[in-house]
Amino acid sequence: GEDVEQSLFLSVREGDSSVINCTYTDSSSTYLYWYKQEPGAGLQLLTYIFSNMDMKQDQRLTVLLNKKDKHLSLRIADTQTGDSAIYFCAELGGFQKLVFGTGTRLLVSP
Amino acid sequence: ETGVTQTPRHLVMGMTNKKSLKCEQHLGHNAMYWYKQSAKKPLELMFVYNFKEQTENNSVPSRFSPECPNSSHLFLHLHTLQPEDSALYLCASSLTGTAMNTEAFFGQGTRLTVV
């Protein structure tokens, strides 16, 4: 079955780069996503990557996909305190079934 | 604002109560979802509706009963819940049936506490 794993916690200093990692198991996943959840809010799509790509850059965000190892990462450059949130990795497996990881809580200190 | 609205935002209920969670979207989406978010656990998909038809029930106990009267509204009826059902319940919607990226839009969730 599908399984998506992430580390639970990451702490960085403001201005540093953050790298959040994710591993997934469904090799037939067509899309992989990063969602952000701020306190008291629902999930908001940050970025996504199609499975035939290995990198996608969107302003401060860089997504790397290693399909062979089923590893996805999200790099946030110049991390700001406003980036503090929970980041969820998700894969689109099956019929419209989004499978999420546990989420990584990113804490950015000044 | 994501275009997906959930009410209420917070709910406290006793184990013998009956309550309902409501979700609505006016994004023209045809698929709606219920997810359960518990601390330190992955987001769990509970139910999926496509064009008002339930297409997935992820082995959810019968004390949770979904209802989708139309493509814009989704309910989750709750009765005789247990304290371990306390969680954040998230509704989402998306446009399905195309080859394009199917971004899911999430509501802010209902924080449910069962006492």
pLDDT per residue as tens digits for the range A19-52: 999 999 877 777 899 999 888 778 888 998 988 8
Percent of chain A with pLDDT over 90: 60
Nearest to residue A49, comparing CAs of A35, A61, A31? A31
**Chain B interface disruption, residue of A2, A24, A43, most B CBs within 10 A:** A43
Q: What are φ and ψ of residue A92, in 5° steps?
A: -95, 105
* B7 confidence band (pLDDT: 50, 70, 90): very high
Average pLDDT over residues A71-90: 95
Cβ neighbors of B74 (< 8 A, separation 6 or more) are B22, B23, B24, B32, B34, B49, B66, B67, B68, B91
Whether the pLDDT of residue B95 is over 90: the answer is: no
Mean pLDDT of A86-107: 83
Report CB contact under 8 Å: A45, B104.
Answer: yes
Q: Which residues of A touch B7 (CB under 8 A)?
A: none
Residue A61 amino acid letter: L
Instruction: Write the CB contacts of B102 (distance below 8 Å, at least 6 apart in sequence).
Output: A31, A92, A96, B31, B94, B95, B96
Instruction: Compute the nearest-CA separation of A102 from chain B (Å).
Output: 4
